[in-house]
């Protein structure tokens, strides 16, 4: 396994990626002179463990209940890597594959991966492209994919954002706004129950900028846990249903101390908020050090007819984007 890095930059941003997992390794803010995402340190570290840090997750980002689903009466059994369930595509998800870099220009890097039929149990030979592109202060992450069979696909980037100058500071001083009025109710294993509830008058309301430290402090209070009935951890790991809008706005994250802000836009219907309460890697990474805002379809969609469909048709090209505007 040979891990290689690639860099694109302009006068505002420098982006560094690695071919293992088509991983986003660095988003460097040139004016503020700081990297905005977490990484494992040395590139060689990714060979042994990824923790999904900055990785492209697939074939199916998020969880699939019971590691199985059915397409046209044909049952498929997936690789189990979180108890009886499948998380982020199985034990060898897309984050553990070396992607082929097929093109690089001054402002664009293109990776390709060919996932074989029944890879981790998923049907169809799937051809995927992950494209990183810079345009002024905007990083655009695009996915293009096509299969020769009906199959389920859900791709996301799993970067941990930290807008502090010093990355050994946690995210408690960050403020978050999400363009959502609804969220998915989950069980103790973080599998969606199928119910969708309104965020109004709950701990999950991010309609306006909310301080993450204050929110997380409330979550650790047992009374709040009982009221919300959605959190079984000491932080957020929850899918929000993005409100449709003309400019595809998803969320905004800012830090009033560093004066750094990112706005996220996407063609995808959901965003997974994860506040890294379980993050740990040697002395490099620790809980609450980063925040994930994973634009994606909803978890367990193959088993939920009321969720936006992830089923793709044979020989049809599908495209999605996520744009991160940095200021």
Q: What is the mean pLDDT of residues 114-138?
A: 98
10 Å Cβ neighbour count for 323?
21
Lowest mean pLDDT among 120-129, 185-194, 264-273: 185-194
* 9 has a pLDDT exceeding 90: yes
Determine the pLDDT at residue 225: 54
3-state secondary structure of 306: coil
Distance CA 211, CA 103 (A): 41
The pLDDT value recorded for residue 232 is 54
- Cα 297 from chain centroid? 10
Q: Say how far apart CA 140 and CA 131 lie, in whole Å.
A: 8
Between CA 270 and CA 293 the distance in angstroms is: 10
pLDDT above 70 for 261 = yes
CA-to-CA dists, residue 182 to 169, 201, 204, 230, angstroms:
30, 11, 9, 12
Three-class secondary structure of residue 34 per DSSP: strand
Per-residue pLDDT, 231: 52
Per-residue confidence (pLDDT) for residue 300, from 0 to 100: 98
Of 117, 160, 171, 141, nearest to 268 (Cα)? 141
CA distance 286 to 269: 30
Using alpha carbons only, give the angle 232, 65, 279 rounded to the nearest 5 degrees.
Answer: 45
The pair of three-digit structure tokens given for residue 63, joined into one six-digit string: 């969880």
87 phi and psi, to 5 degrees? -120, 130
Kindly report, residue by residue over 132-156, the tens digit of the pLDDT. Answer: 999 999 999 999 999 999 999 999 9
Q: Examine the pLDDT at 312 and tell me if it is beyond 60.
A: yes
Q: Which residues of 273-299 are buried (b: 16+ CB within 10 A; e: fewer)?
A: bbbbeebebeebbeebbbbbbbbbbbb
Over residues 91-103, the pLDDT tens digits come to 999 999 999 999 9
Distance CA 196, CA 239 (A): 10
Fold of the 5-326 domain:
Beta-galactosidase; Chain A, domain 5 (2.70.98)
In the predicted model, what is the mean pLDDT of residues 234-255?
Answer: 95
Q: Does the structure show a pLDDT above 90 at 182?
A: yes
Domain map (residue ranges) of the chain: 5-326
The whole-angstrom separation of Cα 195 and Cα 201 is: 17
Mean pLDDT, rounded, for 254-270: 97
Given a cut of 60, whether residue 185 has pLDDT beyond it is: yes
pTM of the entire predicted model: 0.95
pLDDT of residue 317: 98
Per-residue pLDDT tens over the stretch 14-47: 999 999 999 999 999 999 999 999 999 999 999 8
């Amino acid at each position: 396994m040979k891990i290689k890095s690639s860099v694109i930059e302009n006068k505002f941003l420098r982006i560094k990626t690695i071919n293992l997992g088509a991983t986003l390794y660095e988003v460097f803010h040139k004016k503020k002179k700081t990297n905005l995402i977490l990484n494992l340190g040395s590139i060689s570290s990714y060979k042994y463990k990824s923790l999904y840090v900055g990785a492209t997750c697939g074939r199916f980002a998020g969880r699939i209940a019971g590691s199985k689903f059915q397409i046209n009466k044909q049952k498929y059994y997936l690789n189990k890597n979180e108890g009886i369930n499948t998380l982020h595509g199985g034990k060898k998800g897309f984050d553990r594959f070396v992607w082929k870099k097929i093109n690089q220009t001054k402002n664009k890097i293109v990776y390709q991966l060919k996932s074989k039929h029944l890879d981790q149990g998923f049907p169809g030979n799937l051809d995927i492209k992950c494209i990183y592109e810079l345009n002024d202060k905007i990083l655009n992450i695009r996915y293009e994919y096509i299969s020769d069979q009906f199959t389920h696909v859900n791709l996301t980037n799993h970067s941990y954002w930290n807008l502090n100058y010093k990355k050994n500071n946690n995210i408690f001083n960050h403020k978050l706004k999400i363009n959502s009025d609804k969220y998915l109710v989950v069980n103790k294993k973080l599998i969606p129950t199928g119910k969708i509830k309104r965020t109004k008058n709950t701990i999950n309301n991010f309609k306006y900028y909310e301080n993450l430290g204050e929110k997380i402090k409330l979550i650790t209070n047992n009374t709040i846990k009982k009221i919300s009935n959605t959190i079984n951890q000491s932080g957020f790991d929850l899918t929000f249903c993005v409100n449709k809008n003309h400019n595809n706005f998803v969320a905004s994250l800012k830090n009033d101390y560093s004066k750094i802000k990112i706005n996220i836009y996407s063609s995808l219907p959901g965003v997974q908020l994860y506040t890294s309460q379980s993050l740990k890697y040697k002395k490099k990474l620790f809980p609450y050090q980063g925040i994930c805002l994973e634009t994606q379809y909803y978890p367990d969609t193959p088993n939920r007819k009321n969720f936006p469909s992830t089923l793709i048709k044979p020989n049809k090209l599908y495209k999605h984007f996520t744009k991160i505007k940095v200021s």
